[in-house]
Amino acid sequence: MPQRSIGVAIEVPQPYGADLQDWRRRLGDPSAERIPPHVTLLPPTAATDDELVAIEEHLTEIAADEFPFEMQLRGTGTFRPVSPVTFVAVAAGIAECERLESRVRTGPLAREIRFNYHPHVTVAHDVEDAALEQGFRALSGYEASFRVWGFSLFEQGDDRVWRPQRDYTFGNVSPLSPDARDRPFLPSW
């Protein structure tokens, strides 16, 4: 049976997403056009169509039990020398991301991970050291805050572009409710 490559993430809302994607382009990251700025909850994972039914039910149950939270991105970090990555750090919302990641990676998505989970937004990956350092320094004072209303299931297309397939809103918060007036997350696709 054919397999798809899926992932689960919190997409960084606008205008911050466009700004961070622009930085990824400027730093020469070849993935800038294929991967929207996000905080990963489940890295690329193979799944069949049959498995997707159980995965979507699993993600729906998780989202129903969660509540919106504030996320703050602030400053930069790097995974060098282990991995050639420079990122914008998650400064607030870390515990919520850790809880979500551990819940997502159960049931039909149970899997071992290679490295300990560390929520972040990649701005440069697999580029020259000079570009990694440029991103690290240029974005060291970066700050953005927004409310997280849910997460999305992404799928990588044949063109290697990651696209959201389904959004999962936390709890009983409707995107149209008065509480969500200023809702920067879960845009209409």
Are the C-beta atoms of residues 44 and 156 closer than 8 Å to each other? yes
**Domain for residue 86, yes or no?**
yes
**Domain for residue 189, yes or no?**
no
pLDDT of residue 7: 97
**Domain for residue 64, yes or no?**
yes
**Domain for residue 186, yes or no?**
no
pLDDT band for 64, please (50, 70, 90 cuts).
Answer: very high
Task: Quote the number of domains for the chain.
Answer: 1
Cβ-Cβ contacts under 8 Å for 42 (sequence gap 6 or more): 6, 7, 8, 9, 101, 104, 105, 109
CATH code for the domain of 36: 3.90.1140.10
**Domain for residue 31, yes or no?**
yes
Cis geometry, peptide bond prior to residue 15 (ω within 30 degrees of 0): yes
pLDDT band for 173, please (50, 70, 90 cuts).
Answer: low
pLDDT of residue 172: 55
**Domain for residue 187, yes or no?**
no
**Domain for residue 185, yes or no?**
no
- DSSP secondary structure code for residue 142 in this structure: -
Q: Which of 2-6, 60-64, 101-105 has the lowest mean pLDDT?
A: 2-6
Q: Which domain holds residue 19?
A: 3-180
pLDDT of residue 182: 43
Closest listed residue to residue 180, CA positions, set 144, 150, 145, 154: 150
Are the C-beta atoms of residues 76 and 89 closer than 8 Å to each other? yes
Q: What is the pTM of this model?
A: 0.88
